[in-house]
Amino acid sequence: MGKEKTHVNVVIIGHVDSGKSTTTGHLVYKCGGIDQRRLEKFEKAAAQMGKSSFKFAWVLDKLKAERERGITIDISLLKFNTQKYTMTIIDAPGHRDFIKNMITGTSQADVALLVVSAAKGEYEAGVSRSGQTREHALLAYTLGVKQIIVCVNKMDLSEPPYSQKRFDEVVRGVSGFLKKIGYDPTTVPFVPISGWTGENMITATQKMPWFQGWKVRRREGNSSGRTLLEVLDSIHPPVRTINKPLRLPLQDVYKIGGVGTVPVGKIESGVLKPGMTLMFSPAKLTAEVKSIEMHHQGLQAALPGHNVGFNIKNVAVKNLRRGDVAGNAQQDPPSDVIILNHPGKVKAGYSPVLDCHTAHVTCRFAELKEKLDRRTGKKLEDQPQILMSGDAATVKLVPIKPMCVESFFTYPPLGRFAARDLKQTVAVGVIKSVDKDHGSKPTKAQVFK
Amino acid sequence: MPKSSTKMSGLQCLAAENIWFDKQRYDEAETRFYEGANGPATQQFQVKTALQHVKGRPQKRQHRNSSSHAAGDQELVSRMKSLELENNSLHKVVVEMRAALQKLESRVAVLEKNPAPAAVPCAKTVPVQAAPAKVENGDDDDDDDDDIDLFGSDDEDEEAERLKQERLDAYAAKKAKKPTLIAKSSILLDVKPWDDETDMGKLEECVRSVQMDGLLWGASKLVPVGYGIKKLQINCVVEDDKVGTDILEEEIVKFEDFIQSVDVAAFNKI
């Protein structure tokens, strides 16, 4: 059922109160994320309570309450279908650990949906210095989410309602800062919607006759349309890097009686097949793949995105560990950083723990190379003495023990990391280049509070 | 029927109210009377007259009672009445104070929020306070007009006006949803055992034995990985300010006899 559709992860970002949850709720509600039986149950209850006119809101509330109790692990609550894709929504929480998780976690976002409120005052608050709109967009860009969609929400609350002037104002402002962050505004679709009343969500509205539809120009071709759903359907599917060499960071290693050593991990690039000879870095061990299984089923080839277990010969469990990376050629690791949130000052010698794919290794800030403007990337200062929250810089990082990473530009999933200290994420970044086999990596650090 | 009865009781209420008001006067007279150290006989008489003006049934009862009793009862009742009044007014004061506090809180929240994300250190003087801030803000934007300021090119008047509006609205919005929600996230964890022989029931018990303030364990299921290995997928709801993924992971991995590693499979806002 819809299995043949490509899977896309959408992260919803935006300022608090921009209507993220309502908008996602609407998509999920209308496009089939919620199973029919539950929906009917809720709708019936809503009707009984005389709330059928607020059915949608009421159902959302119920679902929220249900999630709050944690009684369902049905992630399909946050899934919906477009014509071409199955989409999973990541409704970005404000939780301080979320960013780290977005970097090292298993589900990477393919597309960012930036929700901006057009309601009086809310747009201004969202893009003000204290607003989260810019920060989120910047983060999405830094983490390599190349496609971004902007919906101008709450058009029903603009003044006057459904005002073209207001929409234009918001578009002007948002495209201005998206451009500064690094996105090309001509590739960014802007859609005026109301997540609450549903204008332009699934079907085109009559209330904004001035809206001529969104258009984007991309290298891969232009597209246009009127509704948010159409935009989502027009995105470019994530490129699964099949043509690249294999990269498979290990999550766990098992010893199975009668089978032997079974490492498990998610393939980030390349293809894994039985009979291949693998090299594990940084352990520098080689082994042949005997068989592959996913969900207890044998596989003849495993592709990027697959979470697989495979059986190898001649390697003892104790010689492998979480964080090792399996490859079929000898290619090794790199790094790049953004410092998020650090209470003090960072000097050369600072050694936080780096989380990169599944590895956790302490790394030393060996050399602060240059301080950058975190928005433009322009160099501000050579060899800075200290870095503070809000600064960005290129830093040379040296891990205290061998670790396998890659340049962000060649293997994005293996090239982004979060640095942790004092039990919080103090920096995030990407690896610019790697000095192979020495384990030292020049990095770019950006401090950001 | 029910209508007439409600009417009746309404009338009675009104009547009763009158009585209570009047009563105070009588009580006062009574007190004065006592203070004037007059004879008990007159007192009784006074009370009686007072009562006669007042109620129907209770009057009769009190009439039959001894004078001292009647006086005591009445005093008690009147004191209760005044206490009730006082209580009411106190309640009102509390409500007022609470409202004032809430206003202050939201104000402080705005103040706190604004300077924090102003990443540029020199922009620490970010505006929030009503009147003087307006001016300051204008200046601010001129100083460190890095790309943050979208309205830098607008002229000051318009900007000031806009900012004012913005603040008002932010304020109104804050006020509108007074009961500030506790931010919560739903986290789906993958908990991995050591091998295919690990007792997954025990493993789950261990995981669920982790208790923290702001942590609620939800449903769970076993997901096949391969080669007979299963992982435990378990949902939990956490309060953002109280529980982090790192602590959670640390606590769970402590059961090292059962658990090899923990990964976050999904992380969502609630």
pLDDT per residue over B72-120, tens digit each? 677 788 888 888 888 999 899 888 989 888 988 888 887 776 654 444 4
- pLDDT value at position A430? 75
Q: CA-to-CA distance for A48 and A36, rounded, in angstroms?
A: 18
Quick one: which of A56, A28, A16, A20 has its CA closest to A151? A20
A310 and A182 inside one domain: no
- pLDDT value at position A419? 80
The token duo for A195 is 């997540």
Which residue in chain B is spatially nearest to A296 when comparing CA positions? Answer: B226
- pLDDT value at position B140? 41
Chain A residues touching B216 at Cβ < 8 A: 69-70
- Least CB-CB distance to B221: which of A73, A376, A424? A73
Q: Which residues of B114-153 are buried (b: 16+ CB within 10 A; e: fewer)?
A: beebbbeeebeebbbeeeebbeebbebbeeeebebbbbee
| Residue A112 counted as domain residue | yes
| Residue A38 counted as domain residue | yes
| Residue A443 counted as domain residue | no
CA separation, residue A212 to residues A189, A200, A253, A283, A448 (Å): 12, 12, 55, 58, 38
A183 and A204 inside one domain: yes
Q: CA-to-CA distance for A415 and A408, rounded, in angstroms?
A: 4
- pLDDT value at position B164? 58
- pLDDT value at position A24? 84
Terminal Cα distance for chain A, rounded: 44
- pLDDT value at position A141? 79
Domain boundary among A308, A328, A348: A328
CATH number of the CATH domain containing A53: 3.40.50.300
| B174-199 pLDDT tens trace | 556 555 667 888 888 989 998 888 88
Mutate to test the interface with B, among A23, A122, A128 (most CBs of B within 10 A): A128
Q: pLDDT higher for A167 or B59?
A: A167
Domain count, chain A: 3
Q: Mean pLDDT throughout B220-236?
A: 89
- pLDDT value at position A193? 92
SS (H, E, C) chain B: CHHHHHHHHHHHHHHHHHHHHHHHHHHHHHHHHHHCCCCHHHHHHHHHHHHHHCCCHHHHHHHHCCHHHHHHHHHHHHHHHHHHHHHHHHHHHHHHHHHHHHHHHHHHHHHHHCCCCCCCHHHCCCCCCHHHHHHHHHHHHHHCCCCCCCCCCCCHHHHHHHHHHHHHHHHHHHHHCCCCCCCEEEEEEEEEECCCCCCHHHHHHHHHCCCCCCEEEEEEEEEEEECCEEEEEEEEEEECCCCCHHHHHHHHHCCCCCEEEEEEEEEEEC
Interface touch B228/A296, C-beta < 8 Å: yes
| Residue A444 counted as domain residue | no
CATH superfamily of B184-269: Ribosomal protein S6/Translation elongation factor EF1B (3.30.70.60)
- pLDDT value at position B2? 46
CB pairs below 8 Å between A and B: how many? 206
A62 and A106 inside one domain: yes
Using an 8 Å Cβ cutoff, are A342 and A421 in contact?
yes
Q: CA-to-CA distance for B148 and B144, rounded, in angstroms?
A: 9
Q: Which amino acid is it at A377?
A: G
A189 and A299 inside one domain: no
CA geometry: angle A2, A4, A6, nearest 5 deg: 95
Q: Mean pLDDT throughout B64-68?
A: 47
A271 and A205 inside one domain: no
- List the domain range (segments joined by +) for residue A269: 247-328
Using an 8 Å Cβ cutoff, are A144 and A111 in contact?
no
Q: pLDDT higher for B35 or B61?
A: B35
Question: What share of chain B has pLDDT > 70, as a percent?
Answer: 51
Closest-CA distance of chain A to residue B157, Å: 16
A123 and A179 inside one domain: yes
Q: Which amino acid is it at B94?
A: V
Q: Residue ranges of chain A with pLDDT lower than 50?
A: 1-3, 329-343, 437-449
Domain boundary among A180, A199, A233: A233
Domains of chain B by residue range: 184-269
Place of tokens 């009190």: B62
A219 and A255 inside one domain: no
- pLDDT value at position A332? 38
Other beta carbons within 10 angstroms of residue B188's beta carbon come to 21
Closest-CA distance of chain B to residue A271, Å: 18
- pLDDT value at position A214? 87
Q: CA-to-CA distance for A162 and B53, rounded, in angstroms?
A: 67
Q: B40-53 vs B2-35: helix axis angle to the nearest 10?
A: 160
Q: Which amino acid is it at B178?
A: K
A222 and A355 inside one domain: no
Q: pLDDT higher for A149 or B59?
A: A149
Interface touch A296/B237, C-beta < 8 Å: no
- Least CB-CB distance to A173: which of B150, B235, B265? B150
Q: CA-to-CA distance for A47 and A33, rounded, in angstroms?
A: 21
| B7-16 pLDDT tens trace | 455 545 545 5
Confidence of residue B41 (pLDDT cuts 50, 70, 90): very low
CATH number of the CATH domain containing A426: 2.40.30.10
Which residue in chain A is spatially nearest to B111 when comparing CA positions? Answer: A130
| Residue A242 counted as domain residue | no
Is residue B22 over pLDDT 80? no
- Least CB-CB distance to A262: which of B118, B227, B246? B227
Quick one: which of B239, B248, B168 has its CA closest to B210? B248
Quick one: which of B115, B117, B138 has its CA closest to B125? B115
Interface touch B246/A69, C-beta < 8 Å: no
Strand A392-399, strand A359-372: pairing: antiparallel
Other beta carbons within 10 angstroms of residue A167's beta carbon come to 20
A31 and A53 inside one domain: yes
Is residue B3 over pLDDT 70? no
Mutate to test the interface with B, among A136, A254, A320, A421 (most CBs of B within 10 A): A254
| B119-164 pLDDT tens trace | 444 333 444 444 443 444 444 444 443 444 444 444 456 776 776 5
Q: CA-to-CA distance for A372 and A117, rounded, in angstroms?
A: 31
A376 and A425 inside one domain: yes
A292 and A205 inside one domain: no
Cα B238 to the center of its chain, rounded Å: 20
| Residue A311 counted as domain residue | yes
Interface touch B186/A70, C-beta < 8 Å: yes
| Residue A445 counted as domain residue | no
Interface touch B166/A128, C-beta < 8 Å: yes
Q: CA-to-CA distance for B232 and A191, rounded, in angstroms?
A: 41
- Least CB-CB distance to A68: which of B126, B146, B237? B237
| Residue A298 counted as domain residue | yes
- pLDDT value at position A54? 59
Chain B residues touching A94 at Cβ < 8 A: 183, 240, 269
What's phi and psi for B84, nearest 5 deg?
-60, -45
Chain A residues touching B117 at Cβ < 8 A: 129-132, 135, 449
Interface touch A101/B245, C-beta < 8 Å: yes
Domain boundary among A204, A233, A262: A233
What residues contact residue B70 under an 8 Å CB cut-off, 6+ apart? B44, B47, B48, B51, B62, B63
A316 and A342 inside one domain: no
- pLDDT value at position A171? 92
